[in-house]
Amino acid sequence: MLIKPISEDGYDLVLGSRKLRESKRRGKGKIPFYRPWGQFVLMICSYTLSKKKYSDPECGFIALSRLAMEAMKFEKAGFFVESEMLYLAEKKGLETTEVPITEIYTENGSTLNPLKHGFGNLGIAITYISEKRPLFFFGISGAVLTIIGLTAGAWVLYIAFIGSGGVAVGSALVAVLFIVIGVFIVLTGLILNALTRLIVNVIAEEKEKEAMMDERVVKG
């Protein structure tokens, strides 16, 4: 099932999915109530990286073509490698697709602690997003903190001018702190994004120069 789209349809990466309409589930084991929520969060992280929506990016059943294996160089290890694969596939312009699989869920089928495993993957995902998409990561984080600070500041002003008339010094300091930190984080994201683009451009120029030199050597 995973190999057919590669051998017959020309795809480079095929991802198995437990969430498609044709997917099946067997076994009498019960899925913990928190597992779907964890899978949803990791799916959002994967979408943030690859900019393409996959129904089940953490499934683990993946087939790669020879082109995909040669094009990908992994930086991370462990179970988050699936999301890194999808990110690299989009970056390299590889053709990807999903196919339904049959899920067999049994009691005590895994020796991994689901909470530890989930939070571990989430931590790796957040780190990877901050490295690969700094403007998005720091921009969102800074914006959230700034909004919290502005909301707290508005509440302080409301109390001072419309409410009791007193100034809540503690709340005012907290509001200012959140705003300053939020703006600083946004600026950090802008700087890191600019540096990332600069590094990418420099690497691209170096590769272009090497290609031109190789071409001259061949012609010479």
Total domains in the fold of the chain: 2
* Whether residue 61 is found in the same domain as residue 138: no
187 has a pLDDT exceeding 60 = yes
Supply the pTM of this predicted model. Answer: 0.61
Contact 140, 189 (CB under 8 A): no
* Whether residue 124 is found in the same domain as residue 194: no
State which residues form the domain around 207: 134-219
Query: 130 to each of 97, 125, 138, 202, how far by Cα in Å?
Result: 26, 9, 7, 21
Query: 75 to each of 80, 85, 105, how far by Cα in Å?
Result: 11, 10, 31
Band of residue 182 on the pLDDT scale cut at 50, 70, 90: very high
Domain-terminating residue out of 84, 100, 131: 131
* Whether residue 123 is found in the same domain as residue 74: yes
* Whether residue 10 is found in the same domain as residue 113: yes
* Whether residue 144 is found in the same domain as residue 126: no
* Whether residue 159 is found in the same domain as residue 75: no
In this predicted model, what pLDDT tens digit does every residue of 108-164 receive, in sequence order?
Answer: 656 666 677 677 777 777 777 787 788 888 888 999 999 999 999 898 888 888 776
In this predicted model, what pLDDT tens digit does every residue of 12-54 receive, in sequence order?
Answer: 999 988 888 888 877 666 666 777 777 787 778 777 777 788 8
* Whether residue 158 is found in the same domain as residue 99: no
* Whether residue 108 is found in the same domain as residue 152: no
* Whether residue 164 is found in the same domain as residue 72: no
